[in-house]
Amino acid sequence: MYIEDRDLVSIQEVRNHIRKAKKAQKILAQMSQEQIDTIVKVVAKACYEQRVHLAKMAAEETGFGRWEDKVLKNALASQGIYEEIKDMRTVGILREDTVNKVTEVAVPVGVVAGLIPSTNPTSTVIYKALIALKAGNSIVFSPHPNALKSIEETVEIINKAALAAGCPEGAVSCIHRVSIGATNELMRHKDTNLILATGGNAMVRAAYSSGTPAIGVGPGNGPAFIEKTADIPRAVQQILDSKTFDNGVICASEQSIIVEEVSKAQVIEEFKRQGAYFVPEEDARKLGAFVIQPNGMMNPRMVGKPAVEIGKAAGIDVPNDARVLIAEETGVGKGHPYSYEKLGPVLGFYTVKDWKEACDLSLKILHHEGVGHTLSLHTQDETIIREFSLKKPVSRLLVNTGSALGGVGATTGLFPAFTLGCGAVGGSATSDNVSPANLFNIRRIAYGTKELADLRKAERQVAEVKEACCQVDTSLAGEELLDELVTRVLAQLSKNL
């Protein structure tokens, strides 16, 4: 009796995908910018047309979020990203500097491994496929098992459109027999050239330790500071709209609110008026114990669920019209569950004396979890914005906008992306909203413009000018000293010409 070894079969499947992807990528690398752009345009259009179907499929399969909001994410990942990249030069000669005689040529990285989370499955697949193809790469997807069917459907739609537009077969593929062994094989294979990892800490760490170059994104745990000069009703509206969008599964969404004592009462009143529910102290302990498990991990039962459903699961009474659950918090770290990332409509609420204390507190929150990711600030004080921008260890400081859609570039001028780099401080290879520019290398052709004798002559001239300056009468001051220095330098330069 034959018994199939699932792990071995899945590993072999990966090897087959990579072999075809490598062959396809060699063909993509020979295509013109116009050919690549045609493929990207057709794929984006096909995905946009199926945005509702894919959104409903993802919501039904994973149980996360709202399909209506996933439609918007699919639209951003397809049409939104296409509009951003359609005129981007990614193939062949990028720039020619005739003055310095340097020419830059785009070189695709090759075969990309795309690791996909269950929280944003279809939109992330569309996005990664488009930016990979735009840069002349092939891509092999490793799906989260809880979103396998919707990811497979998305890849099928992409493949059908891409092949019709002249894309080589095997340029976009997906692991169907999902396993840890298959994902590891994909990341470590000698012909995988780059990993795009979007997911939890364990996945990102595995990507960076695989030996293959990787762009990984860890957790977001962004604080939102409502400073006293903010338009409070607007700030509250933006935060609630952001935190309830797709039931909070976007990692850039707000995780905690920071307010000053002077405006606390007004902010609380406004949150309540707009549908937030402040959880009483005893219930807050129950909710916190449910949301964050004893090991410090987020409870998957709360991810992407509505506020009322989360309340019921936690065993507390919540009004039927509650949009977001808010609990007051005083500390950061172990024993303070609301200081952790919560991918659902649950927020921690902190009170501080002034913006300087808010600055320090947000720093503690970020270093606890989410460093390098995103922070949002609601204020009319440009000085405070500048102070935060100089001191906060984040890659995105969002001002007067909702964090979820602002971070992914939907309500800001940032590149629309579903992989948000956290920079070196966050353990990431980039701080960018990852785009096609991150998926090709640049070959530089540089012409000689100087000889060794020219370098030696320049060094002598510098030494002579320094010597001339040393001969200036140091008793001079102000404009007289400046005039004397200029005169001597100009005289020495005239000798050298």
Token code pair at residue 131: 């930016």
Highest mean pLDDT among 124-138, 441-455, 475-489: 124-138
Residue 474 has pLDDT above 70, yes or no: no
**Cα(139)–Cα(192) distance, integer angstroms:** 9
Residue 306 has pLDDT above 70, yes or no: yes
Residue 320 has pLDDT above 80, yes or no: yes
CB atoms within 10 A of CB 100: 8
- Which whole-number Å values give the CA distances from 444 to 194, 247, 303, 439, 441, in the listed order? 21, 46, 46, 16, 10
Residue with tokens 């981007």: 88
Residue 350's pLDDT is 98
Out of 251, 359, 422, 469, which one is annotated catalytic?
251
**What is the DSSP-derived secondary structure letter of residue 298?**
B
Residue 73's pLDDT is 97
Residue 472's pLDDT is 63
Q: Catalytic: 251?
A: yes
Residue with tokens 């990203």: 81
Q: 265, 213, 37: which is closest to 109 by C-alpha?
A: 213
Residue 457's pLDDT is 85
**Cα(314)–Cα(31) distance, integer angstroms:** 55
Q: Quote the Cα angle for 282-285-287, to 5°.
A: 110
Token code pair at residue 212: 């293959």
Residue 478's pLDDT is 65
For residues 134, 408, 74 and 172, what is the CA-based torsion angle, rounded to 10 degrees? 30
CATH of domain 223-415: 3.40.309.10
- Percentage of the chain beyond pLDDT 70 is 93
338's CB contacts (< 8 A; 6+ apart) are 256, 284, 288, 291, 327, 329, 346, 347, 348, 349
| CATH superfamily assigned to domain 6-218+436-444 | Aldehyde Dehydrogenase; Chain A, domain 1 (3.40.605.10)
Residue 484's pLDDT is 65
**What is the DSSP-derived secondary structure letter of residue 210?**
S
Residue 477's pLDDT is 64
Beta bridge partners of 260: 352
Span(s) in the chain for CATH 3.40.309.10: 223-415
b/e sequence 163-179, b meaning 16+ C-beta within 10 Å? eebebbebbbbbbebbb
| Average pLDDT of span 223-235 | 98
More confident residue, 425 or 272: 272
Residue 217's pLDDT is 82
CB atoms within 10 A of CB 234: 13
Residue 495 has pLDDT above 70, yes or no: no
Report DSSP letters for 228-244, one per residue: TTS-HHHHHHHHHHHHH
| Average pLDDT of span 203-227 | 89
- Which whole-number Å values give the CA distances from 343 to 4, 244, 252, 307, 435, in the listed order? 37, 10, 10, 11, 24
Q: 317, 246, 315, 296: which is closest to 59 by C-alpha?
A: 246
Residue 33 has pLDDT above 80, yes or no: yes
Residue 426's pLDDT is 86
**Cα(207)–Cα(195) distance, integer angstroms:** 7
Using 50, 70 and 90 to split pLDDT, how confident is the model at 371? very high
Rounded to two decimals, the pTM is 0.91
394 three-state secondary structure = strand
More confident residue, 428 or 267: 267
Mean pLDDT of the chain: 92
Residue 204 has pLDDT above 70, yes or no: yes
Question: What is the pairing mode between strands 276-278 and 256-260?
Answer: unpaired
The pLDDT tens digits of the residues spanning 42-80 come to: 999 999 999 999 999 999 999 999 999 999 999 999 999
Span(s) in the chain for CATH 3.40.605.10: 6-218+436-444
- Which whole-number Å values give the CA distances from 105 to 22, 29, 94, in the listed order? 21, 12, 5
Beta bridge partners of 257: 224, 349
Burial category of 215 from C-beta neighbours within 10 Å (exposed 0-12, middle 13-18, buried 19 and up): buried
Give the distance from CA 441 to its chain's centroid: 20
Listed range (4-8, 446-450, 477-481) with the worst mean pLDDT: 477-481
Listed range (118-132, 175-189, 354-368, 470-484) with the worst mean pLDDT: 470-484
Q: 387, 398, 452, 396: which is closest to 419 by C-alpha?
A: 396
**Cα(148)–Cα(179) distance, integer angstroms:** 11
Using 50, 70 and 90 to split pLDDT, how confident is the model at 201? confident
467's CB contacts (< 8 A; 6+ apart) are none
**Cα(13)–Cα(209) distance, integer angstroms:** 22
Residue 382 has pLDDT above 60, yes or no: yes
CB 313 within 8 A of CB 301: yes
Residue 205's pLDDT is 83
Residue 166 has pLDDT above 60, yes or no: yes
**Cα(470)–Cα(485) distance, integer angstroms:** 9
Residue 145's pLDDT is 94
